[in-house]
Amino acid sequence: MASPHLPRLRVGDAFSSIEELDEVISRLEQAQNTTYWKRDARTIEAAAKRVKKPLNPALKYYQVVWACVKGGRAYKSKSTGLRPNQKTVRGDCGACIKVCASRDGQKLIVVKNDLDHNHPTTAVSTLRCNGDVVT
Ligand SMILES: [Zn+2]
């Protein structure tokens, strides 16, 4: 059932900058009509203190996990209890994409690519009367 517009993203794919990956992720978001957020991101600067090898600065991150916003766990509701009858807005969708710096520190490698959502992801275009796309 994969959409023909889904960008190719496979385990083992290598990217030479975070921009390339960000673009693929945003295309993925559009194709699946869903949103991914960087649930876990370790920057190169943080990693450089412990990793004794040159890291490509264009990678920006040593490790990144993009998770579906409808995933559970780390999703923190900003609710402060003002609406006690409302359940916490979170699901248990496990879709995520994980990338890590390659062994030589020059590329970001896709190490996990789980795009199975437990909720509908079919793109539904909504247009306002003035033609603006509702985001
Ligand atoms: Zn999801």
Q: What distance in angstroms lies between residue 35's CA and the mean position of ligand 1's atoms?
A: 8
Q: Count structural domains, the chain.
A: 1
Per-residue model confidence as pLDDT tens digits over 92-130: 899 999 999 999 999 999 999 999 999 988 655 555 566
CA angle 11, 15, 19 (to 5 degrees): 125
Closest CA to 99 of 31, 50, 34, 28: 28
pLDDT at residue 133, rounded to an integer: 57
Whether residue 109 is contained in a domain is answered as: yes
The rounded Å distance from CA 5 to ligand 1 centre is 17
- CA–centroid distance, 123 to ligand 1, in Å, is 13
**Residue 41 within a domain:** yes
- 83 — pLDDT class (breaks 50, 70, 90): very low
For 17-66, what is each residue's pLDDT tens digit?
999 999 999 999 988 889 999 999 999 999 988 888 899 999 999 999 99
Kindly give the distance from the C-alpha atom of residue 46 to the centroid of ligand 1, in angstroms, as a whole number.
29
Return the closest-CA partner of residue 25 out of 101, 130, 96: 96
Is there a contact between 64 and 38 (Cβ–Cβ < 8 Å)? Answer: yes
User: Alpha-carbon distance 113 to 78, whole Å?
Assistant: 28
Q: Is residue 128 part of a domain?
A: no
Which residue range forms the structural domain that includes residue 84? 14-114
Side-chain-facing half-sphere of 27: CA atoms under 13 Å = 13
